[in-house]
Structure 1
């Protein structure tokens, strides 16, 4: 990072997608003070860290059980040594590492901006000079990576950040040390189906030409908005990759020949990364009237980016008001500590938490506004702005986990208990599980369209007995996960119709005690707090229209955190409707397993337990 450039984050300001550290996260990693969590995966976690000089970094830490493996440590140390040699305009710069630490770590430049996948989804494909400069930047990064003796092996849209000053390739090198990233269920392949070269599916070791194939896929995706080979079951993706040619309509003519060669099925036909870089920069330079002839393509890339790279911005860091860090406690003390901490959150003045007993009305406070952060940070009393942003943030999330529960004595047919998982990597995948008494229904929606749907029915009569996935008949009534996701946000949208009646209650503990046990076991939900809003909302039932009371919590980064409503429509206590939506996580790592073709039954009858 240029020393004169603005800091991407500070201790009290974190970019969108970076969450405050959990109670169990470390305070320091090497010289870095941990101020946020960027993400986590099977191999470890990535934290936002600040060193004593104020420099910012993304710090990757290995999970303890891998750190205890001497062979893993040795591989990790070798890869860190290689990564430290990479110098390129379009990679995240290496900052330091300690491979002998109790928990080995490596620090790299934090790159602000969204992923290539998220940008294309939201804004459409890159065109003209933007697409060409992206192709050059990624080729320049690969040239440097390969020169250091590294094969990336998992180049995909989620590993490319579109920073304000150009694209950046992330996660190079370390993938080789882990030997376990993005494993498929089709025999332990390394990489992400849809972005892997054909030879990798034949168990041939990935080479630099395999990375060039992935480069061609990325450039095609960026320029067309289409995954070159993805969509449907993994086996279908593999078949298309090995036997079919992608539709390259939309790739700029100047680089079409190079991209087509990069996507050759035979690795020997593909150019090296350096050759692809020379061809792309040469094609661009040829269009520059009077431009001096530069013999080193890597020196052309900065000029290309300065000329062509436009419109990429990163959201201003959001102000984070956090409570004091909670030490890791023995399991037996967690419940008691959570209760004490929750109380402190309500009344502790030093934490910036307001006492709900003296809650102000939801009126504007111009002096409190902070245009660089989320609405809830600028003025939490502006309910319309906060709730509107919460809905928009949820709709734009690249991943989420949500549990939606609705119980009604009068409208039992509308009662539901479902969980939704969604991720955009390696392609859009949504999983829905509906709990319906003795049966559990699962729907897997693959891709953006409605054609690739898998369903499964499990028996829950005497312990869960799983059935097989099957492809439902077109006439079969199968739930639409995307419609159910939209329905989960509808109660929040309804609040916008009368936002003036919403009252801000300050920051209070978020209810979580009755969440499904799987979430309590997996996520650090104890002690969560949020900006709390209450009010009434009209609820239409068979017996008429009634005023329901609601509570909504919004977290400090503007995402919805918890919603619940209660409507009484009769004189008895059971004459009521209760709705609760637990927004477990947004923009974090979400795994949605896809079954092999051999695991998919031909019909519902064959797939039932």
Structure 2
């Protein structure tokens, strides 16, 4: 056992929490750096933990030729790299090295050990007292320095702030602007960014900073909507006016990052850097960089999800499952055994059975049959990925969930809270999904790498968790119940909208390419429940999309109570969104070995 005074060596078998093992498509080396693990993945690729020849660690971001050869990307990347090499800020991850002329250019920056802000808040709750003030001042200092050089971050969210033992550090400045890829969670973006009006100086980053500090103080994630009087909850009084100013709707009405720093460091005598340094020295306590732990080399290719899951294009055959009997083999149409399906067990447009005929292609106006088929195909799918979120404007969002199911290498299904960077959950294993293992994720990035700890039992007094298969079936049945009680209208075939889709579910390119049959309805929702709270009656608008095979793609129900104001102003609004990202494509879930499973969840 490693002694407390002898840190575990960082190598490919012993990585810090939050660093995932390298995938099959990750390079063994980048320039002079030997790669060790994956810090995060996003729309621009992977950020890798790497080791220089002298043993120093770095955060290395290689860019694929596809990304780098986009219009003006190399020129913008050169400009951002030049800024980073000149930046001098305590709370900005510093420049180390770069090669922008390579076929696949790369940039190396300081590796910052520690948990992200999202991980810390999810694990330990909001920040308090002077630690919160130090976070606010430190991140403002980093933005002020970056903006002074003409740079913009444009992807600031809790995954881009690492709470190192020496202070908070902002990572990935300028990468989103250089690559033209949206690297952040869109809910944290300023309103002008969401509406396509672009950035105005550093105002978009200042808006994200306001949401970030509010999140650090309250644990509230933004809903993606902008209001004139944002709720502040437990934000301490000395920060309220600063955050309110940062969250103003109009970019020109927000303070600059430098002004934020001046407000947070009064009496500095103009030496703001020294003021931040003193604040961190006296207030930044209790932050640690977790020790490395043993990991297994990932077999996963490019898109790694929050459950150490990768989605690839190969279709899989085999036994299919029914939601009514998770342990029984079924065909795609819900018929049991191989005789009805033929000797190969395959299903499809020419197969027999209730669920195999392409109802939506033959007659998309036959709404009842389309709904029946969508449920059957969803429940019969052998593998899938699904993202679900119930959100509202009532003072802090509820937690999204994601579901992954596979049959290889063993039958498994996971359900996890999706907190943007981290989430607890459960995995059920075995032919009947009978073995339950609990887990807790530590992620770096909303779309990033995952470190997962497994537990055999929940701690005494903890609430029991619903079986993940039963939970997912309940979700499909809830959708089916709603669709069957409304008068759906076929609106035609076309693009499927997506407000937010985690990249571990679908890449940006795949999201843009999704098309399907659209059905809609407007009705009164008499009874809607969120976390044991009942709401109703509500004015509801429903959208439902299926692909040409009849599988569901998207379900969204938007409800309004015009008689009751929301805590963010206006009418109370509630939304239930389900994104069915993939069906019957390979989903690889890491199956823990016995020595990876701890006795109890602490």
Report the TM-score, using the length of structure 1 for normalisation: 0.54
More helix by share: 1
Aligned to 1:218: 212
Aligned to 2:595: none
Q: 1: CA distance between counterparts of 2:133 and 2:30?
A: 39
Q: CA deviation at 1:18?
A: 1.9
- Confirm or deny that 1:602 pairs with 2:595: no
* DSSP-derived class of the 2:176 partner: helix
Q: CA deviation at 1:125?
A: 1.4
Q: 2: CA distance between counterparts of 1:199 and 1:408?
A: 45
Mapping of 1:572-591 within 5 angstroms?
590-591=504-505
* DSSP-derived class of the 2:156 partner: coil
Q: CA deviation at 1:414?
A: 5.1
Mapping of 1:74-473 within 5 angstroms?
74-182=75-183, 192-206=185-199, 207-228=201-222, 230=223, 237=224, 240-241=225-226, 243-282=227-266, 294-319=269-294, 399=307, 401=309, 412=325, 415=328, 461-462=357-358
* DSSP-derived class of the 1:75 partner: helix
- Render the CA deviation track for 1:368-425: whole Å, top value 9, x for unaligned: xxxxxxxxxxxxxxxxxxxxxxxxxxxxx9555499998789x84654899xxxxxxx
Q: Is the 8 A contact 2:21 2:38 kept in 1?
A: yes
Q: 1: CA distance between counterparts of 2:274 and 2:83?
A: 22
CA RMSD of aligned residues (A): 5.2
Q: 1: CA distance between counterparts of 2:198 and 2:433?
A: 61
Larger-Rg structure: 1
Q: CA deviation at 1:112?
A: 1.5
Q: CA deviation at 1:281?
A: 1.4
Q: CA deviation at 1:119?
A: 1.9
* DSSP-derived class of the 1:210 partner: helix
**Gap change, CA 1:401 and 1:322, over 3 Å in 2:** closer
- Render the CA deviation track for 1:1-58: whole Å, top value 9, x for unaligned: xxxx989934543112323333443222111111222233332222211111111001
- Render the CA deviation track for 1:43-80: whole Å, top value 9, x for unaligned: 22222111111110011000122334573222222221
Q: Is the 8 A contact 2:22 2:297 kept in 1?
A: no
Q: 2: CA distance between counterparts of 1:100 and 1:108?
A: 17
- Render the CA deviation track for 1:344-385: whole Å, top value 9, x for unaligned: xxxxxxxxxxxxxxxxxxxxxxxxxxxxxxxxxxxxxxxxxx
**Gap change, CA 1:11 and 1:253, over 3 Å in 2:** same
Report the TM-score, using the length of structure 2 for normalisation: 0.54
- Render the CA deviation track for 1:184-224: whole Å, top value 9, x for unaligned: xxxxxxx6432222233443331212211111111111111
**Gap change, CA 1:147 and 1:7, over 3 Å in 2:** farther
More strand by share: 2
User: Is 313-322 or 301-310 further displaced after alignment?
Assistant: 313-322
Q: How many residues align?
A: 393
Q: 1: CA distance between counterparts of 2:168 and 2:122?
A: 17
Q: Is the 8 A contact 1:209 1:270 kept in 2?
A: yes
Structure 2 gaps of 5+ residues are 1-5, 332-345, 380-385, 390-399, 414-428, 438-449, 456-501, 522-541, 551-602
Q: CA deviation at 1:304?
A: 1.0
* DSSP-derived class of the 1:306 partner: helix
